[in-house]
Amino acid sequence: MKLIQARIPEAEYEVLRRRARQEEKTMQEVIREALRAHLLPDTVDPDDPIFTELPVFRTKGGRRARASERHNEILYGEPS
């Protein structure tokens, strides 16, 4: 883990301190969570083929593709 130092205005420090106290966390934990939420948002792409390409399996000559084994290939054109 890397150590960083930053100067912040007194008002922002107080907001951070209050939030940490409210959530019963350290200020470090609150800062890390805020950074992750801002820089690494956990979003879902509504156009992802997993949501738009149904059914996931297709039949080939009367046989079903092994979707559970070949899901990346079937959905995204990548080898599993």
Task: Please tell me the total number of residues recorded for the chain in this structure.
Answer: 80
User: What pLDDT is stored for residue 27 in this prediction?
Assistant: 97
Show the tokens assigned to 73. 């290939």
What string of pLDDT tens digits covers the 80 residues of the chain? 899 999 999 999 999 999 999 999 999 999 999 999 899 877 888 887 777 766 655 566 655 666 667 777 777 777 65
Can you give the chain as a three-state secondary structure string?
Answer: CCCCCCCCCHHHHHHHHHHHHHCCCCHHHHHHHHHHHHHCCCCCCCCCHHHHCCCCCCEECCEECCHHHHHHHHHHCCCC
| pTM of structure | 0.53
Nearest Cα neighbor of 1 from 29, 38, 26 is 29
